[in-house]
Structures are given as C-alpha cells and as structure tokens.
C-alpha cells in the first residue's frame, strides 16, 4: 500500500522552540527533533538512574518484596514461570540471577513450550512445576489472565506472585500478590514497563526490604549493584516494542551504556558478536533488529530455555555456543517466514482485486503455517496493508491459534474483548496489548470470527488513518548531510516506539542504482541542486519496480546513518520509502 509522507508540525511550520531548548548545548536540528517528540526542556533529556520513578509507586511492589524476603529467609523453593519471547526470556534470566545474588539457594525456572502448553501459567504448567516442589511460583511477563492456573497452584498449596504488564481482563487471578502497572488502582506514572521492567522494579523493592532487615550484613552477602542487570532490562524493553517514555528511556539508556562499556553479560556479548554488531557502538535498534530476533527464534521454533541459558551463561565459550544455536534457529525461522509470506501474498492479492481497497481488517489462515512464526507474518502483512491483521495456524486438536498486530488507533485487545462480549464463546481465550495480542478459536469458527473482526473494527475507524503515514522531521539542508551529525543522531536516543528515530524527506538525483543481495537497492544520490554524492540503501524493494534506469529523480523518506565497513565509517541514507519523482 502506498505510503504518505507527512511532516511533523514542528518541521512543517518551523515552530519556535522553547528558550530552554533553543539555548541548550544541543545541535539545532536535534533540538527540533526532540521538541517534536514532546521534549520541552533539556532536563527531560537527563536519563540518569536517579530519575527513575521510585519502586514504592508501583502497586504491590513493596508487598511482593516482603513476601520474597520472607521466602529467601526460610530458604523456600522458588520457581519462575517465564514466557517464550525476548521479554519473557530476559525477565526470567533477571529474576533467577538477582534472586540467587540476594542469597536464594533454591531458584529454578520453567518456560511453557508454546506448541504443547501455550501461553502463561496454565494448570498444565502448574502440574509440571509441582515436579520441582515449589513453595512459591513467580510469573514474569505473564500471569494477569491465568485464572485457572493460579487456582490450580492455590489448590496445590503453592503461593503465587504475578508480575506482568499485559492488560488485565474483567477478572483477576486469585494470586497472593499481583504487580502490574496496568491493573486497576495502580497509580504508577509509567504504564509502559515491559515485563522485564516490572520484575526489575520488584527486585529494586526487594533489595530495599533486604536492606531494611539487614539481610546482606547478617548473611555475609555483598549487596548486589542492580545496575549490572540493566543490559537485560534494555534488551527486553526494546525487543518487546513498548513505548519508550522517559522512564523506559532511562532503563534502556543505562543498559546500553553498560553494554558499550563492555560490562554486559556473556550471552548478550555473544549474540551481538554473531550478529556482527560492535558492542562499543550498540544502539537500541541493534537490540531490536539483531539480538531480539535471535533470542526470539528459540521460542518460535524450539525451546526458549536455549535463549534463557544463553543469557544466564557465565562463560564466553558456553555463551558463544548457545548464541550460535540461536543464530541457526533464526536462519531457519527466516526460511519458514519467507515461504509463509509468499503464500500470504497470493491470498492478499485476491482480497483487493482491481485495485479495490482491502478489507478493514485482515485474517489469514493456512493449516501448514508454523505457529511460532505467525506473529512475524502478521506484522509483515500489517506493515504492507496498513490494516489490523490476525494470522492463524493450527493449534490443539480442533483449535487454531492467532497472533494479532494492529495499527495506530485500533486497540486490538479491546477489539477482541468487544467481540468476545458480542459473540459469547466465539473466542476461547485472548490477551495482549493495544498493538499486539494472541487468541484461540475453534477451527470451525474462523469465518464467523473474520466477519466479526471486520464489523468490530468498522465501529472504530472514523478517526483512524487507513493509509500508512511516514512522519518526517522535514527536509535537510546540504550541510546536514554530514557524518558527524549522523553519528550524533544515532546516539541521541534511545529511539524506539513512541520516540521514533528521526526521519527526513526530500528529492534527489539518482547517480547510480543497482541490486545487492538480489533484493536490496544500492544507490548513489545527489540532493537536488547539489553536486554532493551520498550513498543510500533501500532494503527489500519491490523488484517489479526497481531497479529502473529510466528514473532520474526520486522522492525519499530516509534516516541518516553511519555505515561501517572494514574499519571505515561513512555517511549512508537508510531509505524508508522511495518513489520516482
């Protein structure tokens, strides 16, 4: 679907910056970029740990700390129940590592295999956990919808602490304690914590409680510096694509600083190395597009325990071997995904023949599709069609499992909740966020659900842009095409969801164009009216259009970036959108 380039109001109108930003020691272009993202003062760019929201503001964090301190004191057996994505893996690794550092001697973990048990603390997972004889179960990045699982744990005499960040349903599980910034009555100012952020806050509260009890001194344990775990927090936060409000930017910025200083754990170093990323120059996008997918591949195709063990590795050889296994799984995932994409594109072409508008929402299902990859496919289709998209694959006998991705303005979890209310029994179970969710249906209900989804989305599209928009920070001057500025912008984040990396637009003369790796367009460009030559690359171009030697000028949306090759650094434009013109 064609994309519209829309300039941000600050760029379009040249709005006057606040005096504090205009007079600060910030590049004028960067000051404008920050202002367009809601930053009004240089003070808001301070991302020190001292500026984190205190743990006491997170509902039940202190109660959870008291519970955990008591469990450690009497040497209870603790089992952490994680999730099979990067947020769940980092959450699990953090919980296990910190509890052991605090002196807990009986800590173990379980991660549901998505193909056998599905998501969350189910009764089946509780039954598996019972083999480990736990006194306490802690969920990380899941649990807020685990009504039956918590009841099963209660019946087995196991205490439960739920730590989660997903949206709560109408009914909460009867856990001993729930810590979730998105539960009712929680006044925590940042509702955007990832699962790993929530458990990190619980560990901060636990350390404060153990200090109060003089636990470290009395036990002869050196009090851990929790900053050493921020590499995990940064990775999980970025990989889960939660909005980077100021609190999350602090967590990510501090985690990235540790990684760049060579202080990250062996597993993250190994994953960066196998992804050909220099840890000294790592930024948030490296975690999101290079490390996160390799970690996620374990949960998508095999067993997320591989990823967790990589993150828990204390030696580089072990970490490197596990990172290599994750890399192989990610390569396998790419092959599977490419095949699924080809099949999906055939179906999509049939959805809007004769250039008709695609439906308001898209559902796709093939019995042979891989359950672990449908989330990625849903995201790819959503990006291509700019429609809420749910992709299904076969689940348990007689059921199909769906992974949903949405567009700005369509809250997909609320959509599913509304469908469940209007059509009782149609959805077997669901959960998630505004932009992503998961659900299960009876296979025979697929068409009924597809119809219901379009009808429900239709009730919410009045103020929603159904054409993809690329927001631009404006047109650059010739002097701005500069390696130093590109470097400054790269490290000026962390950039991410709701705090996007700067994108610019403009017209360029095409000096050279050629395909590389059979699907990427390598360009040499010159800004209109200039003799300056600039390298650019557009990934995964439409091969029916590009390369086209008849095209002499193009209109681009692009990012300034730094290309590193054999020790040399040069300016390069990363093309977000390209059209002749």
Residue 340 lies in a domain: no
Q: How far is the C-alpha of 357 from the C-alpha of 34, rounded, in Å?
A: 36
Residue 337 lies in a domain: no
Residue 48 lies in a domain: no
Same domain? For 446 and 374 the reply is yes
Residue 368 lies in a domain: yes
What does the pLDDT read at residue 467?
Answer: 86
Same domain? For 220 and 122 the reply is yes
Looking at 394-443, list the stretches that DSSP marks H as alpha helix, in order from N- to C-terminal side: 412-422
Final residue before a domain boundary, out of 430, 458, 486: 458
Domain at 394, CATH number: 3.10.310.30
Q: Can you say whether the dihedral through the CA atoms of 576, 248, 299, 315 is positive or negative?
A: positive
Same domain? For 401 and 517 the reply is no
Residue 463 lies in a domain: no
Same domain? For 35 and 64 the reply is no
User: How confident is the prediction along the chain (581 residues), in pLDDT tens digits per residue?
Assistant: 678 999 987 655 556 788 888 888 899 999 999 999 999 999 999 999 999 999 999 999 999 999 999 999 999 999 999 998 999 999 999 999 999 999 999 999 999 887 777 778 999 999 999 999 999 999 999 999 999 999 999 999 999 999 999 988 889 999 999 999 999 999 999 999 999 999 999 999 999 999 999 999 999 999 999 999 999 999 999 999 999 999 999 999 999 999 999 999 999 999 999 999 999 999 999 999 999 999 999 999 989 999 999 999 999 999 999 999 999 999 999 999 999 999 999 988 877 655 577 899 999 999 999 999 999 999 999 998 999 999 999 998 899 999 999 999 999 999 999 999 999 999 998 988 889 999 999 999 999 999 999 999 999 988 777 888 999 999 999 999 999 999 999 999 999 999 999 999 999 999 999 999 989 999 999 998 889 999 999 998 989 899 999 999 999 999 999 998 877 899 999 999 999 98
How many structural domains compose the chain?
3
User: What is the reported pTM?
Assistant: 0.93
Residue-wise DSSP of 227-250: GGGHHHHHHHHHHTT----HHHHH
Residue-wise DSSP of 481-535: --HHHHHHHHTS---BTTBPPP-EEEEEEEEEEEEETTTEEEEEEEETT----EE
Same domain? For 296 and 412 the reply is no
Same domain? For 37 and 59 the reply is no
Same domain? For 114 and 258 the reply is yes
Residue 347 lies in a domain: no
Same domain? For 486 and 454 the reply is no
What does the pLDDT read at residue 19?
Answer: 86
Same domain? For 361 and 400 the reply is yes
What does the pLDDT read at residue 568?
Answer: 87
If we measure between CA atoms, which residue out of 78, 134, 89 comes closest to residue 112? 89
537 has which bridge partners?
522, 574
**Structural domain of residue 310, as residue ranges?**
53-325
Q: How far is the C-alpha of 402 from the C-alpha of 363, rounded, in Å?
A: 9
What does the pLDDT read at residue 353?
Answer: 54
């Amino acid at each position: 679907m064609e994309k519209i380039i829309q300039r941000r109001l600050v760029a379009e109108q040249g709005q006057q910056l606040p005096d504090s930003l205009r007079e600060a020691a910030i590049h004028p272009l960067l000051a404008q970029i920050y202002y367009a993202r809601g930053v009004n003062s240089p003070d808001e760019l301070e991302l020190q740990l001292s500026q984190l929201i205190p743990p006491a503001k997170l509902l039940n964090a202190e109660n959870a700390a008291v519970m955990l301190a008591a469990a450690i004191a009497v040497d209870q057996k603790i089992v952490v129940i994680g999730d099979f994505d990067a947020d769940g893996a980092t959450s699990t690794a953090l919980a296990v590592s910190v509890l052991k550092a605090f002196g807990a001697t009986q800590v173990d973990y379980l991660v549901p295999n998505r193909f056998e048990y599905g998501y969350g603390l189910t009764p089946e997972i509780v039954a598996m956990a019972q083999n480990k004889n736990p006194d306490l179960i802690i969920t990380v990045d899941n649990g807020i919808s685990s009504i039956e699982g918590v009841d099963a744990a209660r019946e087995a005499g196991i205490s439960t602490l739920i730590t989660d960040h997903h949206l709560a349903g109408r009914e909460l599980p009867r856990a001993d304690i729930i810590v979730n910034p998105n539960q009712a009555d929680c006044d925590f100012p940042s509702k955007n914590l990832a699962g790993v952020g929530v458990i990190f806050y619980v560990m901060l509260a636990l350390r404060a409680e153990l200090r109060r009890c003089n636990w470290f001194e009395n036990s002869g344990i050196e009090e851990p510096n929790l900053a050493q775990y921020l590499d995990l927090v940064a990775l999980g936060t970025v990989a889960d694509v939660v909005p980077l409000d100021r609190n999350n930017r602090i967590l990510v910025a501090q985690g990235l600083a540790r990684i760049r200083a060579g202080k990250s754990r062996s597993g993250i170093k190994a994953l960066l190395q196998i992804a050909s990323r220099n840890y000294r120059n790592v930024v948030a996008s490296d975690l999101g597009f290079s490390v996160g997918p390799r970690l996620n591949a374990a949960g998508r195709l095999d067993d997320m325990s591989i990823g967790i063990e990589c993150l828990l590795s204390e030696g580089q050889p072990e970490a490197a071997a596990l990172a290599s296994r994750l890399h192989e799984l990610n390569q396998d995932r790419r092959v599977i995904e490419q095949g699924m994409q080809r099949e999906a594109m055939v179906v999509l072409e049939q959805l809007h023949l004769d250039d008709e508008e695609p439906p308001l929402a898209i559902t796709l299902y093939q019995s042979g599709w891989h359950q672990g990859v449908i989330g990625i496919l849903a995201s790819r289709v959503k990006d291509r069609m700019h429609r809420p998209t749910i992709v299904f694959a076969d689940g348990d006998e007689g059921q199909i499992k769906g992974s949903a991705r949405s567009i700005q303005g369509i809250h997909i979890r609320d959509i599913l909740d509304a469908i469940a209310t209007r059509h009782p029994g149609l959805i077997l179970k669901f959960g998630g966020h505004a932009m992503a969710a998961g659900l299960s249906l009876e296979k025979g209900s697929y068409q009924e659900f597809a119809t219901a989804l379009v009808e429900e989305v239709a009730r919410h599209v009045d103020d929603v842009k159904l054409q993809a928009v690329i927001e631009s920070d404006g047109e650059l001057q010739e002097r701005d095409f500069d390696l130093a500025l590109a470097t400054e912008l790269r490290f000026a984040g962390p950039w991410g969801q709701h705090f996007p990396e700067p994108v610019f637009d403009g017209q360029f003369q095409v000096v050279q164009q050629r395909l590389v790796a059979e699907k990427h367009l390598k360009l040499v460009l010159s800004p209109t009216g200039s003799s300056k030559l600039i390298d650019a690359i557009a990934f995964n171009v439409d091969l029916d259009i590009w390369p086209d030697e008849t095209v002499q000028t193009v209109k681009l949306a692009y990012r300034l970036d730094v290309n590193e090759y054999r020790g040399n650094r040069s300016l390069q434009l990363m093309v977000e959108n390209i059209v002749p013109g």
